[in-house]
Structure 1
Amino acid sequence: MPFALVALVLIPAVAGSLRLVELAGGPLLLPANPRMTASPAPVVVHIVCAVAYAALGAFQFSAALRRRRPGWHRLAGRVLVVLGLGVAFSALWMTLFYPRQPGTGELAYVFRLAFGSGMAASIILGFAAIRRGDVGRHRAWMTRAYALALGAGTQTFTLGLGHAVLGTSDLVTDLMLGAGWAINLAVAEYVIRRHRGPRTRRRRAAAATATVGSS
């Protein structure tokens, strides 16, 4: 699973790295984006945090690694909280204070605010849950946060498919951006419920056994 997750974000990670090269004074390797060159700091924070969060966060989903290296899992988790909040808050900053991205409309603006806020809230709730010792809720909220962070990877496919089938327009672009985040959240909820199911059945079985034993 970790390598599949890293592969999903590979295309936006490469594009982000090329943008960093440009902002550092290197050659123009991507279409010019005056919004970013005019105020590069939030872009740099967003790209660096997003690539590190996606790569490091993928290995948090390895059950074998969690069992063998619990200390590493906890340390990486603390780093990921900082990186994830950097991703979410820099995205919100760019949405609120950058000029509107050409080719997108009001719906994309709302999606970015909603899903960026949702990612930040999920990280905070996940961190609060593990501080209480609630591992189940911690995993659920961190899974949702990671799914939202990987939206750019899924959007590579939804945008390509949407433009090929429905044509290019602001509305199509907005809907395909939203679809990328929605698909990732749907998969996250499936994974959360799938892992929650066996634990729920075990708790019910233990409760039934205790009831029979006490009767």
Structure 2
Amino acid sequence: MLLLSAVPIVAGSMRLAELSGGARITPENARFFAVPVPVIVHIVAASFYCVLGAFQFAPGLRRRRLGLHRVSGRALVPLGLAAAFSGLWMTVFYPSPPGDGELLFVFRLVFGSAMVAAIVLGTAAVLRRDIRRHRAWMIRGYAIGMGAGTQVFTHLPWAAAFGAPGEFTHALLMAAGWVINLAVAEWVIGRQIARPSALSGFSHG
């Protein structure tokens, strides 16, 4: 998960350097220069969410450092919500860049809203001490948040074989990244339901 996180973190760092270094404004980046706060919030929040979140799923850390797990969880909720809401804001209010379209607009709204819902439901579950549902919803929220990393790998084979995708194909390849992550998340959740002892000692408090 840390390796997968590296892809959007590097890309985000390059975007931040571009904004702070006075890079040349182009049609592709003009929206970020015009209103930079949402993209800065998105990059910073998503980067910490991806890296910190990866350690939440380490069973050894939960058993040996439960206090750290709880503190990290309390930080991850606002980070995840900031990443999701800033992404939704950019989807709705930023002008669409070249190559995007209405289908991708809908996909971003759907998956961004699903990430918010997963984090809220996961938080509500742990407050009820429903650890099984808490873990399941947090895994789903994290899977959606990691979509940017997987989307690189859904695009690369297509670009290598057929060149740059068109608007419709680009939207499907973006959606594939989220769907693949959610499919893996459901597989992990299913395995843990089959092994109830795997949840022993898991709680944010």
Is TM (by shorter chain) over 0.5? yes
Q: Name stretches of at least 5 consecutive residues in structure 1 with no aligned partner.
A: 201-215
Residue ranges of structure 2 left out of the alignment (5+ in a row): 198-205
Distance in 2 (CA, whole Å) between partners of 1:199 and 1:58 is 21
Deviation sequence 1:79-116 (CA, Å, 0-9, x none): 00000000000000000000112111111101100000
Higher CA-based Rg? 1
1:53 aligns with 2:30: no
Amino acid at match of 1:153: G
Q: Which of 1 and 2 has higher RCO (CA within 8 Å, sep 6+)? A: 2
Task: Give 3-state SS (helix, strand or coil) of 2:195's partner.
Answer: helix
1:176-195 equivalences in 2 (<5 Å): 176-195=173-192
Answer yes or no: is 1:80 the counterpart of 2:76: yes
User: In the alignment, what sits opposite 1:147?
Assistant: 143
Match of 1:213 in 2: none
Structure-1 residue corresponding to 2:129: 133
* Counterpart AA for 1:37: F
8 Å CA contact retained: 2:154, 2:173 = yes
1:92 maps to amino acid: L
**One of 91, 95, 98 as aligned partner of 1:99:** 95
Give the AA of the match of 2:168. Answer: L
- Matched with 1:122 is 118
**What SS does the corresponding residue of 1:115 show, helix, strand or coil?**
helix
- Show CA shifts across 1:120-146 (max 9, x none): 000000000000000000000000000
Q: Give, as a single letter, the amino acid of the residue that structure 2 aligns with 1:189.
A: E
Q: Which amino acid aligns with 2:137?
A: W
Letter in 1 for 2:187: Y
How many Å separate the matches in 2 of 1:162 and 1:23?
Answer: 30
Per the normalisation by structure 2, the TM-score is 0.91
Q: Percent identity?
A: 56
Q: How many residues matched?
A: 195
Let me know the Cα RMSD of the aligned residues: 1.6
Structure 1-normalised TM-score?
0.87
- In proportion to residue count, which structure has more helix? 1
